Chains A and B, each alone.
Chain A
């Protein structure tokens, strides 16, 4: 749903301009420094990019899912590292509070998240619990009016910058399944919380992931999201539904950039006395990439509109994430191919994007997990 088309066009134009004038020119520097420049982070903060999905009453923009999809497609045209810096605040890091938080929790944390004063991270994955998220071992045991947290979280995006973590931990050790898990808001300065060194990784230099270690870390019971234990897994899954649409939109945006880079190169590059864009085998690759990119765009927008209308079909959302993330992998591969030897060289953006997009098939549910969700949802529908 677009609330006001005229205002929205202006939002989108502003983001597009910011992406073209500021983000794309800074891409190489982000790789060299393995960091997004501080002045760009400041500009993103001033523009309100950290609080796009936080409701307006808490100082955010309250973007609908469709609006968010369009905006993230625009951001996807720049290196995904930029999006990652604001990604957790708008997605998995804050949505647990937005969706299931108590009024006090919302009032306490969301204004700071919206202003970008707080970076919010999401801590679910553990060394021994990835796809099988319900099997997490981190515990949170009630002691007076505090929970005592012990465990290790892995690959946590933006952990070093975070002021708060949305943490999933087991409050009921006797319940080994999803029902034993609760969600908490944990503040960075809580005693017993340490953030490890950034992991070395394949792509998206500048956007880092870390281990987060909890050793007898004390968290006020007032920070239990929603105030009722045992609801944390549900909160995490609801958060991930919208998060998956966000990632799908991002994949579409990146694929659009890759198509642009491919077409430009094909028009410029001459072999056999003509632009390689004249060769039908190159045209076939361009056509396949554009077609798939467009298909994913339509899927994401359709699912986003349904989401806004209250029709949250888990299977369709998973289908978007599955198709869009696999699609951008193929589009990146073709982009490298169209660039020939240059596509293997770091001076060309496509080499970097080729590595950057690999993660989209893995986090917020691997492609295999999306397939399971799509099929289970179908089977459930037909059995019912």
Chain B
């Protein structure tokens, strides 16, 4: 079985995001960029499946600017076998990403696509679901356990208030939650070897997909600054404030 792992280059999770003065988006000039953390979990899960002998090949794919090659190299250093960059400097919305991924799936015929449940830049949480719909494949989203069982997989999902386990036939779509695994650090020798692994660069046109935006961003704003808290003296005072001032209980 082949596993396809889409990875997105996003603002590093340690960076404090700042909104551009004209409110059109987040300022990314000279900001450290890294692989979306949920995608790292996806890569790790794919590698574990391969190490367990349940997959033969891992293909990492990214849609983004030329620098997204670095993100793909990270996936290759962690253990992916080869990579595809669909290069574009445009903003690509989840639907366009899903259409491109569908085209890659048609070409590569993977048995499993493992995606992050969302990217930490736009927090859309849509791509995996859209891809499942476009392909007509079953999906196991927000996975905290992915087990290969017979010809299919069992996915334990983190749902509100508990866990749900679903059985899927393959091919299938999985999106990762935080607790699925703890991604490894790429070993230094593998980082050096990753440079020699195959990385194909394509364009959206190669796949015949129209990626023009369907959405319009009106404005982006920083969250309101939190006012300082207060200290209460007694439990009664706390309960009173929660009830009467905050109105939360």
Q: Which residues of A contact B (CB under 8 A)?
A: 4, 6-7, 9-11, 14, 17-18, 20, 43, 46-49, 52, 56, 59, 61
B74 touches A10 (CB 8 A): yes
* B192 pairs with A61, CB closer than 8 A: yes
Q: Assess whether B147 is interfacial by the CB under 8 Å rule.
A: no
Q: B186 on the interface (CB 8 Å rule)?
A: yes
Q: How many residues of B contact A (CB 8 A)?
A: 15
A10-B70, A10-B74, A10-B77 known; A47+B195 contact, CB < 8 A: no
B191 within 8 A of A: yes
Are the C-beta atoms of A18 and B191 separated by less than 8 Å?
no
B208 at the interface (CB under 8 A from A): no
Q: Is B73 an interface residue (CB 8 A)?
A: yes
Residues of B within 8 A of A52 (CB): 188
Which B residues lie within 8 Å of A17 (CB)? 185
Contact residue among A6, A11, A20 (Cβ-Cβ distance under 8 Å from B188): A11
Task: Say yes or no: is B189 at the interface (Cβ < 8 Å to chain A).
Answer: yes
Give A18 to B191 CA distance when docked, in angstroms.
14
Q: Once the chains are docked, how many angstroms separate the CA of A61 from the CA of B186?
A: 14
Q: A6-B70, A7-B195, A10-B77 are in contact. Are A48 and B188 (CB under 8 A)?
A: yes
Which residue on chain B has the smallest CB distance to residue A48? Answer: B188
Report B-chain residues with C-beta under 8 Å of the C-beta of A47.
185-188
Enumerate chain A residues within 8 angstroms of B77, measured Cβ to Cβ: 10
> 1/0 per residue B42-83: CB within 8 Å of A?
000000000000000000000000000010011001000000
Across-interface contacts of A11 in B (CB, < 8 A): 188, 191-192
**Dominant secondary structure of chain B at its interface with chain A:** helix
Are B195 and A14 in contact, CB atoms less than 8 angstroms apart? no
CA A49 to CA B73, docked complex, whole Å: 20
Q: How far is the CA of A133 from the CA of B70 in the complex (A)?
A: 48
Task: Give the chain A neighbours of B195 by CB distance below 8 A.
Answer: 4, 6-7
Q: How near does chain B come to A64, taking the closest CB pair, in angstroms?
A: 13
| Interchain pairs with CB closer than 8 A, number | 44
Alpha-carbon gap, A11 to B77, bound state (A)? 10
A10 to B14, CA, bound (A): 17
By Cβ-Cβ distance, the 7 closest A-B pairs, closest first, are: A48-B188, A48-B187, A48-B189, A47-B187, A10-B191, A61-B188, A18-B185
Q: How far is the CB of A291 from chain B (nearest CB, A)?
A: 24
Q: Which A residues are in CB contact (< 8 Å) with B70? A: 6, 9-10
Cβ of B188: which chain A residues have Cβ within 8 Å of it?
11, 14, 47-49, 52, 61
- Give chain B nearest CB distance to A334 CB in angstroms: 27
Closest partner residue, chain A, to B69 (CB atom): A6
B178 to chain A, nearest CB (A): 15
Contact across chains for B185 and A14 when beta carbons are under 8 A apart: yes
Q: Which of B187, B191, B194 has the most CB of A within 10 A?
A: B191
Task: Name 15 interchain pairs, CB-CB below 8 A, sorted by A.
Answer: A6-B195, A9-B70, A10-B186, A10-B191, A10-B194, A11-B188, A11-B192, A14-B188, A46-B187, A47-B186, A47-B187, A48-B188, A56-B192, A61-B188, A61-B192
Given contacts A46-B185, A48-B187, A52-B188, 10 further A-B contacts (CB under 8 A): A7-B192, A7-B194, A9-B70, A10-B77, A10-B186, A10-B194, A14-B185, A17-B185, A43-B185, A48-B188
- Cα distance, A157 to B186, chains bound together (Å): 28
Near A by CB (< 8 A), chain B positions 60-113 give 70, 73-74, 77
Note all chain A residues with C-beta closer than 8 A to B184. 46
Tell me which residues across on chain B come within 8 A of A48, comparing CB atoms: 187-189
Which residues of chain B have C-beta atoms less than 8 A from A20's C-beta? 14
* Closest residue on chain B to residue A61 by CB atoms: B188
- CB neighbours (8 Å) of A43 from chain B are 185
Interfacial residues of chain B within 174-200, with CB under 8 A of chain A in the complex: 184-189, 191-192, 194-195
Q: Which of A4, A17, A18 has the most CB of B within 10 A?
A: A17
In the assembled complex, how far is the CB of residue B179 from the closest CB belonging to chain A, in whole angstroms?
A: 17
